[in-house]
Amino acid sequence: MVIKKKEFFKALEDDGEIAGKDNPFKPAYWSWKPKVLIIIEKLSVFEKIKEEIKDKNYDDIISIVCSQGFPADYLTTESIKRIVTPRTRIYYFGDLDPVSLCIYYALKKGNSLFKKSKDLIKLKFIGITPDDIKQYGVPSNHLIKFTTKSYKGKTVVGEEKIILDYLEQSNLLPELKEEINFLNKGWKVELESLYIALKNKGLTIIDYFKDKNIL
C-alpha cells in the first residue's frame, strides 16, 4: 500500500509517543566547542547519561542534547550548529522505532517537512541498531510489537507502520536499511531496554560509546 504524505503526517500527529511539541527548550549538558555531541531522544536516558559523563569526567569530551521526542525542528538544528565546530562529531542516539527515525531525519535536514534536501548538519545514527540487540543481549521480551487498530471490526495497521512505510517508500533514509528491515518485522526496541542490557553485562553507556568508536 502506497502511503501518501498527508497520511504520514496524520500518523505522526496521532502517535501517542510524540512529545515536546510546544516546548522549544531542549535540555542540554555541554561544554563550549565539544569534540563529540550526542543528541538523545528521551529525557530519562538523557539524565542517566549526563550523570555518567560527570562521574567519569568526560565533560570536556562529550556534550549531550535531549530532543524530547518529535518534532526536531529548525530551531533545534540551528542551536546545535552554533555550539559545534567543523571538527565536532555529531551523533543521534534514540529508540529503534519509526518515530525515532523521523527525529533523526528531521535533525539532519533542519526541518519537519520530510522532503529530500541537503543535510544541514553532519549527523550519524549510532543506535539503537539491530546489531546492538544481538551484541548486548537485549531480551526478546523487551521487543515491543507495533500497535494495531480496529476498524469496522477488522484489525488494521497502526501509526507506526504507516510512518515506517512512508520513510521506506520515499527512500529518505537509505543509510538505515538494516534498521528499516528490522522494523518491517513489526517490532521496536526502546533505549531503556538497551540500557538494562548493558547493565546486565556490567557495561556502562561510556563502554557502549567506546564500542561505537565515538571515544
Whichever domain contains 87, its CATH number is 3.40.1360.10
Is the confidence at residue 73, as pLDDT, over 90? no
The predicted structure's pLDDT at residue 45: 92
Please tell me which residue, 21 or 145, carries the higher pLDDT value. Answer: 145
Q: What's the pLDDT band for 22 if we cut at 50, 70, 90?
A: very low
Q: Is 148 left (phi over 0), alpha (psi -120 to 50) or beta?
A: beta
The predicted structure's pLDDT at residue 139: 92
Q: What are phi and psi of 155, to 5 degrees?
A: -85, 125
Domain of 161 in residue numbering reads as 5-211
Is the confidence at residue 127, as pLDDT, over 90? yes
Residue 12 three-state SS: helix
Q: What's the pLDDT band for 25 if we cut at 50, 70, 90?
A: low
Cβ atoms < 10 Å from Cβ of 90: 20
Could you tell me what percent of the chain has a pLDDT over 70? 84
Distance CA(198)–CA(88), nearest Å, equals 26
Positive or negative, the CA dihedral 39, 161, 176, 95 is positive
- Average pLDDT on 33-42 reads 89
- Average pLDDT on 28-48 reads 86
Q: In total, how many domains does the chain have?
A: 1
DSSP characters over 53-121: HHHTT-TTTEEEEE--SS---HHHHHHHHHH--TT-EEEEE--BSHHHHHHHHHHHHTSSS------SS
pTM exceeds cut of 0.75: yes
The predicted structure's pLDDT at residue 100: 93
The predicted structure's pLDDT at residue 153: 61
